Chains A and B, each alone.
Chain A
Amino acid sequence: GQQVMQIPQYQHVQEGEDFTTYCNSSTTLSNIQWYKQRPGGHPVFLIQLVKSGEVKKQKRLTFQFGEAKKNSSLHITATQTTDVGTYFCAGPPGAQKLVFGQGTRLTINP
């Protein structure tokens, strides 16, 4: 079926290092959304990208949507302990609903 794949599944970094998670779809997405789930918490919406090749920034976070609208990435510059959590991408491969990637769990060594 239509899937949204996300890698890596886990990432451990030293505080101050950069972090990137990647999201790939087998079909073109009309939009891509990113969510963050803190440990013990619920997913919280971060951003939505709609246009081909779109790049958006939120402080140290940079989000990209691929030219073909089949892939996306989230890059965090100079991680901080507050960045700990699981990051999910989600896209609507068809018209019906969002499909979530498996998530990337980020842990940080202070």
Chain B
Amino acid sequence: EAQVTQNPRYLITVTGKKLTVTCSQNMNHEYMSWYRQDPGLGLRQIYYSMNVEVTDKGDVPEGYKVSRKEKRNFPLILESPSPNQTSLYFCASSLFNTGELFFGEGSRLTVL
């Protein structure tokens, strides 16, 4: 089954404790992206990747890092989480950068 898998789905952590949200897709998609969703603000792009070893900042990259060492994986790293990073995070992938996006089920992160 074609899917985008994110883990963890839910996480409560404390300020400053590094965490990684993993994202994996099994569709051989070139393009992958991370979004955060906050009430009233829609989906805002954090980082995206056009291909292996090619990543770029989205609209709200501050406080986040990503890597794309393999085509299928695109982890989101919060080196020192802060409460303003409490949000619902979605990973998505598509065949190319402006194609239909397939979303993961989301990761709800709370930073205390």
Contacts and interface: CB of A to CB of B under 8 A. Distances in A.
Given A42-B106, A97-B33, A48 B43 contact: no
Interface in B27-42: 33, 35, 40-42
Contact of A33 (B33, B35, B40, B100): B100
Interface string B73-112: 0000000000000000010100001101111111000000
A99 to B, nearest CB: 8
Given A42-B90, A97-B48, A102 B98 contact: no
Contact of B103 (A30, A44, A48): A44
Contact of B97 (A9, A43, A96): A96
A87 to B, nearest CB: 11
Nearest to A104: B42
Nearest to A102: B42
Main secondary structure of the interface of B (DSSP, over half): strand
Interface string A55-95: 00000000000000000000000000000000010101001
Interface in A1-22: 6, 9
Given A9-B40, A97-B48, A102-B41, A45 B100 contact: yes
B103 A100 contact: no
Nearest to B31: A97
A105 B35 CA distance: 18
B7 interface: no
Given A97-B33, A97-B48, A43 B43 contact: yes
Given A45-B102, A103-B43, 6 more contacts: A6-B42, A43-B90, A88-B42, A96-B97, A100-B44, A102-B40
